[in-house]
Amino acid sequence: MSHTITPLTPHQTGAEIRGLDLSQPVSDRLRAELNAALARHGVLVFRDQDLPPERFKRAAQIFGEIMPHHRRSGDTTEDSSIFEVKNLEVAPGKYYIVGESFHTDHSNDPVPPKATVLHPVALPDRGGDTQFVNVHAAYDDLAEPMKKRIDKLLAVHVYVSQYSPRKLIKVDDDTAAHLPPPAIHPLVRIHPENGRKYLYLNPVRMDSIIGMPDDEAQALIAELMAHATQQRYEYRHQWKYGDMVIWDNRSVMHQANADYDMTQLRKLYRIMIKGQLHESDLEATRGVEVDLEQRVPS
């Protein structure tokens, strides 16, 4: 079957792929081509896919090994591989939306996921888009003094930062018992596949920047977030049934939108793909220790 890969924005963030059936086995050559396309565009949108759970798992594994989710109670599978993203009614008329501010997934993990994959099961009539911003381009456009200022900084990522702009849903005991210790990541990292530098930001989980007072660190994070989330770095995805969307958590940040009728169910299957650390990550964090209690929301 022939297929097409079409960029979705003039700045090459996001590409649409048509003409592939991901429920079928893929050749090594196609696997390499799709992984290269992900490293180039940051987001891939496959159309017209029919992927019930087992097929969805196989399709996701084109991009690597499945990484279990930290939150274990929302999983549809016993092995924690498929998580259900949905609008949860936490109190009468009050809803919790997963991912409702720009972030990168599971950055509190010492080895954060390479990618996240979504496939819709139920969609609202309108709204509920997912936005992506390109953090390679955002880094490239920074002024040289800012690049110099941040190039060697290390941030501490916890499950939920004391400065998080939004609350996370309370974790169950089983999840809390399995959370990894806080992670230390450079603010500027190098992508292991495309070799480009990128801003690694997540206000939900970044608790501190090592060696910097918190007020200064939070002001710096806010300044970088304002820069990186400009529309010129964005691809905005409007969901259609049959989409399988994968994004590279190193190349883009993403956010969900609560701009739809909350009485309508919006549910997507989510799988994460294991990441790897670039040698510069290991180099930058070697011997660095931070004495921190792991924070879990109460």
User: Which positions lie near Fe ion, rule CB under 5 A?
Assistant: 99, 105
Task: Select 105 or 248, whichever has its Cβ closest to Fe ion.
Answer: 105
What distance in Å separates the CA atoms of residue 183 and residue 197, rounded to the nearest whole number? 19
**Smallest separation (angstroms) from Fe ion to the CB of 145:** 31
Task: Give the residue nearest to Fe ion (CB).
Answer: 99
**To which residue do tokens 């997963």 refer?**
98
SS3 84: strand
Evaluated on CA atoms 131, 198, 113, 187, the torsion sign reads negative
Task: Select 20 or 118, whichever has its Cβ closest to Fe ion.
Answer: 118
**Smallest separation (angstroms) from Fe ion to the CB of 270:** 8
β-bridge mates for residue 88, sequence order: 96
CB-count burial class (<10 Å; 0-12, 13-18, 19+) for 46 = buried
What distance in Å separates the CA atoms of residue 28 and residue 264, rounded to the nearest whole number? 41
Task: Select 142 or 221, whichever has its Cβ closest to Fe ion.
Answer: 221
**Smallest separation (angstroms) from Fe ion to the CB of 99:** 4
**Smallest separation (angstroms) from Fe ion to the CB of 229:** 14
**Smallest separation (angstroms) from Fe ion to the CB of 24:** 28
Task: Select 268 or 284, whichever has its Cβ closest to Fe ion.
Answer: 268
Task: Select 150 or 269, whichever has its Cβ closest to Fe ion.
Answer: 269
What distance in Å separates the CA atoms of residue 167 and residue 182, rounded to the nearest whole number? 18
